[in-house]
A and B are shown apart, each in its own frame.
Chain A
């Protein structure tokens, strides 16, 4: 069971949280303008990396707030957690700089 550092509440056990999938997959501003391919990419394509992964968690049984985390999917260690709207440090998640 992971130990997750909620940016609002501090470290809590995984069973208090819900996983929210990959982070920074923003809903397109105008979905109707997208091609089927582009829409399907939004719906279904995920980076699924072996390595650092930016992901969403929700502290469902705590503050109930969504937040983001960077976790290494090989070791399951968290690199950082941060609030929605914040950008992770570039050294934590190189893709943020792209």
Chain B
């Protein structure tokens, strides 16, 4: 198990820069997730780590070993592909045993280790089946068993859950985490599903257009998104456009439509008076408020949707539509006039340029 370091890795395809000067440090035994929309370069980054693509520039290190130009079959990584890539002409046993045979492990031990690996993923007894005779979830487990059985230096998971149905996805998610915790293999996980990323990762790198925008813990990414893209890509948000009117102790007063709201700069950058900004607010940061006071917004209820834990309420306000999550104990219905409050700390301001570019 190793520490994986990428420094200045760039990969271009023609005029498209798929991976743009990416530097990452992934700790030994960590679950590290590359998160981003499709085409953001996360899978290419993973394939560069596996050795299927050679970067145009930059370096990849496993601990102190430079593996940048090492052939994939010599890297000692194990990858789980999005489509599982199970060999249809081999049984479950042969699929899982493949890597061990290549490592010239004695027959008896292969048998033992395959058995253990299949037990670990809960597939005992299916050794003689062919992949096509298995369900999607079972195929997933075979792919996982095949990867962990060789005790790889790094485990690479490329959207491993995207082909499973919603319920199975939740279960496999837990299983992968507990398996990783038990084995302690350095794991790099690629997904476009932010909830998945939040729930399994020690740390997350959010990528867009080939660049890493932010590396942080899930909490850090969620609570303190440093850029407009990260803020809006993760979770639900309401965005309001406005103009900076004044600032005091790092809190800005923003004129947004017919409203005045207070917020803080997300990136720490200072805004000038009169500068155009976008305010991003998460729906769960709103609460029902009494009359008057700072950051109290009045609006008319347009739509109420029951989500279980929350009611998702869409309000029409002088600044435009906003979405708030309210506890079901607050009974609201369409047409009601209500007032909601949001703490200025939870109103994140970004420069308009960032939002427009996105």
The answer to whether A and B interact is: no
Write the residues of chain B forming the contact surface with A, with a CB cutoff of 8 angstroms: none
Write the residues of chain A forming the contact surface with B, with a CB cutoff of 8 angstroms: none
